[in-house]
Structure 1
Amino acid sequence: MELSIMYCDWLNQWLERKTHFIKASTHGTYSNLIINHIIPILGNIPISSINEDHIQQAVIYWATQGKMNCNHGLSDSTVRDILSIVRLSIKDARKYFQLPAQSYDIYSPKSYRSPLPKILSQTEHKRLTTALLNDINSRNCGILLTLYTGIRIGELCALTWQDINLECQVISITKTLQRIFTKNSDGSGSSKITITPPKTASSIRDIPLPSFLLPIFKEISPSNANSYLLSGTLKYIEPRIYRLYYTSFLEKVNINHISFHGLRHTFATRLIENGADIKTVSEILGHASITTTLNLYTHPPLEQKRKCIELLSI
């Protein structure tokens, strides 16, 4: 029984064991979090000696100053992901080395960063739509599609014309494209593009194509159905490159920058503002639970809050 094995050595073994049971993107995320954050703090502790205090102090560090090259803390979601890896890997280690099971009560420091993402105002929403319609091309159609369907950028980059049924006016989301970065224990790393099914079964879905986009899509549709929507060719455009194009377009039309994912937030928020039911919105977005939709994608504007308050005025 190798009770003296260091946690860093076990993490490398554990990740190798997981290789055939998790998606390549998940493996890349795990390896990066392990190399960048877990091993530097907990790696030199024997696996049999890691206790609740070690993990609690590590969580405090990650949450307050864990961001690489600066003194800022990692995001709440990143800390949760790291803690999940720690819990899983230690649980598997205790089972593998036949150590007694142990539970940990770990708390995360209070985060004061605003969890609300930036979205387009209604005025910006209309201005962006007008600018895109006045400059129609394949890449701009992708921005329009995200703004009016909430499609994720990886799903958009993987979308080909065979996924778009113009006759039925439906878009089928069955895959996602992403660049996976993997970091090795020696500090070296590599990346590759993957096109895989979406992360969850609920992300595989059909989305109605907005009627006003139908004639535009018919106009730009290529003869080869295997062509990618964003390029109009058999060559994909990866998310990093497309984000750069999106940013430059916002600058060109003088609209304040929001992240590309902010278009998805904008889409969901506008639907809720206009009375759409949460369950339908949740399914269009590809969420497994309507709780996710409520917590992350609906942000009543100040005007709407004011109307709500005024309902009780005397």
Structure 2
Amino acid sequence: MAVSLVDGCRETTLDTIKRYAYCYAAMSSIHRQTGRPNWFCAFTIGGKRVFRSTKTADKKQAREICRAWHKAALLARKGNGKLTVEAAREVIARGVGDVFAATNVESLPSATVRTWCETWLEAKSLEAEASTHSRYARIAGRFIEFLGAKADRDIATLEPLDITRFRDREAKELSRATANLSLKVLRVCFGEAMRQELRTGNPAVKVKVLELRDKSTRRAFTTAEIKRILQACGDDAEWRGLVLFGLYLGQRLGDLAKLTWRAVNLESNEIAFTARKTGRRIVLPLVQPLADYLSGLPAGDDPDAFIFPRAASATRTGTLSNQFRELLVSAGLVAPRSHESTGKGRSQSRETSALSFHSLRHSVVTMLKQAGVSDVL
């Protein structure tokens, strides 16, 4: 049987029985039995000598595995027989890295939670819309702040409990809907870390989304309310057009604001564009009220020119949503918001309004049902 002492007692002839006994009891060693390819590790736990297979026939790997187990045992002995979770994670992370480095030229891929989030956000800046990237960055920033010192630990040490506690804090300080959105973003973030082989599992996938206790209070506009909104637009032809497009097309404000003349086909009476949120190609009929509105706009030669240039220049859809709310205030449909400090900070969630630009989408559905159009359409 081959024997190799790992720590403290090198692979040399031992001088005395006393020295051998000390090394045997205090140090770890690897052994390979005749007829068995894998190396075994011998080390001491709680005063007892144990032997465990390293599951590898590679001597360098076996030595590093045994050394990691020995370090964990020493830390447990210093902690009166208990190894803390943090210490165990550190031993495992370093041990795995040492084992990998023992037989590979390249080092084991690794990253802290902080550096990975930064890397992921940098990649998303090239893939996602600016508003979407900003949302991702805010969520990642809150998560890093929540983790504190843990954010600078290896991403492999992140556990579902860390994600769960962050989700619960989001729900408590912001809202359940925001907590669920944050959870979904973290799922995407750490799912990519898995694909980059920085983790073997996605901790966020194991965390459930919260059930929303309060359903959305948003409702459709009545015909009388729509007339009041159009009257509130006054001489602002652009906002009048956005309201009409929202009413007859039922699309998101952000998508309508970015519509170009290329999307309009007067020959087939269609409007075609790609939804920014879903990436779906959408083709809708150009109804007469919209055709009449477009015919009244100045004609141009650039097919990539925006139909609503002022709205298209807004960097955030939230800016446009606030402008639409001002129209609702002017129309007497909602009360103006108070700008007085509540002492809760800007991160505090705002109560969902029953009326918003999104209500125009509900209005479309209501109008279709009243016209007898099938829900399938």
TM-score by length of 2: 0.54
Name 2:363's counterpart in structure 1.
266
Looking at structure 1, the residues matched to 200 and 290 of structure 2 have their Cα atoms a distance apart, in angstroms, of 60
Looking at structure 1, the residues matched to 195 and 260 of structure 2 have their Cα atoms a distance apart, in angstroms, of 45
> Does residue 209 of the first structure (1) align with residue 286 of the second (2)?
yes
Looking at structure 2, the residues matched to 33 and 215 of structure 1 have their Cα atoms a distance apart, in angstroms, of 43
Partner of residue 51 from structure 1, selected from 132, 155, 159 = 159
Looking at structure 2, the residues matched to 88 and 94 of structure 1 have their Cα atoms a distance apart, in angstroms, of 10
Looking at structure 1, the residues matched to 291 and 197 of structure 2 have their Cα atoms a distance apart, in angstroms, of 60
RMSD: 3.5
Given that 2:229 and 2:327 are in contact with CA atoms closer than 8 Å, whether structure 1 keeps it comes out as no
Looking at structure 2, the residues matched to 160 and 85 of structure 1 have their Cα atoms a distance apart, in angstroms, of 30
- The one-letter code matched in structure 2 to 1:161 is W
> Does residue 16 of the first structure (1) align with residue 92 of the second (2)?
no
Name 1:224's counterpart in structure 2.
300
Name 1:288's counterpart in structure 2.
none
Name 2:332's counterpart in structure 1.
254
Shift of the 105–172 alpha-carbon distance from structure 1 to 2, 3 Å rule, reads: closer
User: What is the deviation of 1:237?
Assistant: 4.4
Greater relative contact order, per chain length (Cα 8 Å cut-off, separation 6+): 1
User: What is the deviation of 1:150?
Assistant: 1.0
How do 1:91-240 residues align onto structure 2 when only pairs under 5 Å count?
Answer: 91-93=191-193, 96=196, 100-101=200-201, 105-128=206-229, 131=231, 137-174=237-274, 198-202=276-280, 204-218=281-295, 220-226=296-302, 227-231=305-309, 236-238=312-314, 239=317
Shift of the 213–276 alpha-carbon distance from structure 1 to 2, 3 Å rule, reads: same
Looking at structure 1, the residues matched to 250 and 110 of structure 2 have their Cα atoms a distance apart, in angstroms, of 50
Name 2:145's counterpart in structure 1.
40
Name 2:27's counterpart in structure 1.
none
Looking at structure 2, the residues matched to 96 and 136 of structure 1 have their Cα atoms a distance apart, in angstroms, of 50
- The one-letter code matched in structure 1 to 2:134 is G
User: What is the deviation of 1:117?
Assistant: 1.9
- 1:35-75, CA deviations, whole angstroms, 9 ceiling, x for partnerless residues? 1x21122353232332222222221111122xxxxxxx334
- The one-letter code matched in structure 2 to 1:27 is H
Which consecutive residues of structure 1, in runs of 5 or more, have no partner in the other structure?
66-72, 175-196, 281-314
User: What is the deviation of 1:125?
Assistant: 3.4
Given that 1:171 and 1:209 are in contact with CA atoms closer than 8 Å, whether structure 2 keeps it comes out as yes
Partner of residue 64 from structure 1, selected from 169, 172, 177 = 172
Shift of the 165–135 alpha-carbon distance from structure 1 to 2, 3 Å rule, reads: farther
Question: Radius of gyration: which is bigger?
Answer: 2
- 1:75-132, CA deviations, whole angstroms, 9 ceiling, x for partnerless residues? 42x3233223333444444565665446653234443233242321344235445x37
Given that 2:270 and 2:283 are in contact with CA atoms closer than 8 Å, whether structure 1 keeps it comes out as yes
User: What is the deviation of 1:244?
Assistant: 4.7
Looking at structure 1, the residues matched to 210 and 312 of structure 2 have their Cα atoms a distance apart, in angstroms, of 42
- 1:214-260, CA deviations, whole angstroms, 9 ceiling, x for partnerless residues? 33432x121214353335x9x94424554454334333333347212
Looking at structure 1, the residues matched to 199 and 169 of structure 2 have their Cα atoms a distance apart, in angstroms, of 27
Looking at structure 1, the residues matched to 123 and 372 of structure 2 have their Cα atoms a distance apart, in angstroms, of 48
Given that 1:3 and 1:48 are in contact with CA atoms closer than 8 Å, whether structure 2 keeps it comes out as no
Shift of the 128–87 alpha-carbon distance from structure 1 to 2, 3 Å rule, reads: closer
Looking at structure 2, the residues matched to 94 and 273 of structure 1 have their Cα atoms a distance apart, in angstroms, of 49
Looking at structure 2, the residues matched to 136 and 25 of structure 1 have their Cα atoms a distance apart, in angstroms, of 25
- The one-letter code matched in structure 2 to 1:224 is G
Shift of the 145–4 alpha-carbon distance from structure 1 to 2, 3 Å rule, reads: closer
Count of matched residue positions in the alignment of Structure 1 and Structure 2: 244
Given that 1:60 and 1:108 are in contact with CA atoms closer than 8 Å, whether structure 2 keeps it comes out as no
Which consecutive residues of structure 2, in runs of 5 or more, have no partner in the other structure?
1-96, 98-107, 336-354
Looking at structure 1, the residues matched to 289 and 278 of structure 2 have their Cα atoms a distance apart, in angstroms, of 30
Given that 1:146 and 1:264 are in contact with CA atoms closer than 8 Å, whether structure 2 keeps it comes out as yes
Shift of the 237–52 alpha-carbon distance from structure 1 to 2, 3 Å rule, reads: closer
> Any idea what SS the aligned residue of 1:16 has?
helix
Shift of the 89–44 alpha-carbon distance from structure 1 to 2, 3 Å rule, reads: farther
Given that 1:164 and 1:171 are in contact with CA atoms closer than 8 Å, whether structure 2 keeps it comes out as yes
